Amino acid sequence: MSVFPEGFLWGAATAAYQVEGAAAEDGRCESVWDVFSRQPGRVVNGDTGDVAANHYHLLDVDLALMSELNLNAYRFSVSWSRIIDDDGAINRKGLDFYERLVDGLLDRGIAPFLTLYHWDLPQRHEIRGGWAQRDTAQHFADYTQVVYDALHDRVNNWTTLNEPYCASLLGYAAGVHAPGRREPRAAAAAVHHLLLGHGLARSIIGDNVSVTFNLYPVDPVDPDDPIDVDAARRVDGLQNRLWLDPVLCGRYPDDVLADLAPLGFADHIRPGDLTLISAPLAALGVNYYTGHHVTGQPGGITPEWIGSEHAHNVSRGLPTTAMGWEELPDGLFRVLNRLHDEYPRLPIHITENGAAYDDTVVDGKIEDHARQRYFEQHLGAVHDAIQAGVDVRGYFAWSLLDNFEWAEGYAKRFGIAHVDFDTFARTPKLSGRWYATVAGANALPEQG
């Protein structure tokens, strides 16, 4: 048995646009994802989050599901579009939903982990330039103040941003996420303005604050080839150090500043910004799915890797999930140890980890052995990291429910509970039942 530390958090995660639905109800206004998903060709099958997993209407069902799965923590995001309307007024009905959610969690002994921004910028801000525009960070802080005032008496774990890498580089450089722009200079501006938004929000929330980054081990394909080694350096810079260094150390890495200089990145940094951005955190959120194995040799363009577009990933020949992501549990161990060894130490939450597979329903059951193994192997890596001294306090499976997987729509299922998108019935999968046992025992069984 691999026993976890006492009080370890066993959670699951979701995000507002991916599960809530009720897109035009109770005063919710449009976000960039509403607009983007309606544009032909943006999302597989033309799917949108209009109904999603119908969580907005099935809140009580989902709270009961969390109890059934033995969760003692739940990570969700608040939809900015529900909280402030297009006239800038506070929408009481939107706040009511999150108050009911938080109260329902507390009644069941489940700790709420609230994320303020999981990519759904109100469209009115995008029209004015989105995250490429500095004052979007101030609008984010104003919204934060409203949510904080309503919920700080009940919520102790606040996360400002989820994966600002995706919000900036996938949204503004690759154009594969909302708002779908392919403008590297705007993407560079968005990087800094998202981090500034984090800093401004942090100054409102105070100490109980965290931020979540998607982190990766980045390995050169040929460690003896200087071209591959430099490609790996650049990709590590964009994926990991561009976020960790300003937040944890108060400075952008010199080499990344040089890589991004042609895009005018440094022009956006004003005196005092990095002081705000690097104010102390209570914890760091880590999302982990896979690793990068990178070459700089010709072969493809990766538009989100601004400043290093010619770097690209090469398969290691490992098993992959339905997303095509290679399974690399040891990479999570490496990421956690790197944080421990190279950065100022603070408590870590694994705020997302999980996998999509092509589930089949047989006699009402989903026997997703591959997903169960994925969780088992990655939780094993977390346990190994804890044994090696890394201060990991909790783990959140992505995701509680099958949901709207961004540009992949409903085609990719990540839930530990299956959602029937016709009836909206929830059914714990084998992986979910296994996870409930592990959470209940606070231990992993021996791997067999």
Residues at the site binding ligand FCB, with contacts judged by CB under 6 A: 15, 18, 162-163, 166, 214, 287, 352, 398, 405-406, 414
Least Å distance between CB 416 and ligand FCB?
A: 13
Q: Which two tokens stand for residue 251?
A: 């400075």
- C-alpha 35/C-alpha 178 separation (Å) is 8
Least Å distance between CB 287 and ligand FCB?
A: 6
Choose between 305 and 406: whose C-beta lies nearer to ligand FCB: 406
Which is the catalytic residue, given 20, 126, 304, 352? 352
What stretches of 79-211 show up as alpha helix (H) in DSSP?
A: 80-83, 92-107, 123-127, 135-151, 164-165, 184-205
CB distance 168 to 305 below 8 Å: no
| Torsion angles phi and psi, residue 280, rounded to 5 | -60, 150
Which is the catalytic residue, given 20, 163, 326, 327? 163
- C-alpha 111/C-alpha 75 separation (Å) is 9
446 belongs to the catalytic site: no
20 belongs to the catalytic site: no
Least Å distance between CB 396 and ligand FCB?
A: 11
Least Å distance between CB 163 and ligand FCB?
A: 5
Choose between 221 and 419: whose C-beta lies nearer to ligand FCB: 419
CB distance 120 to 81 below 8 Å: yes
Choose between 161 and 276: whose C-beta lies nearer to ligand FCB: 161
Give Cα separations from 118 to 79, 364, 390, 407 (angstroms). 8, 32, 26, 15
Q: Count the residues in the chain.
A: 448
Nearest to 406 by CA among 19, 77, 76: 19
Least Å distance between CB 27 and ligand FCB?
A: 24
- C-alpha 417/C-alpha 61 separation (Å) is 12
Instruction: Classify residue 325 as exposed, middle or buried by CB count within 10 Å of its CB (0-12, 13-18, 19+).
Output: middle
Please count the CA atoms within 13 angstroms of the CA of 274 that sit on its side-chain side: 16
Choose between 140 and 165: whose C-beta lies nearer to ligand FCB: 165
Least Å distance between CB 30 and ligand FCB?
A: 19
Which residues does the annotation mark as catalytic? 163, 352
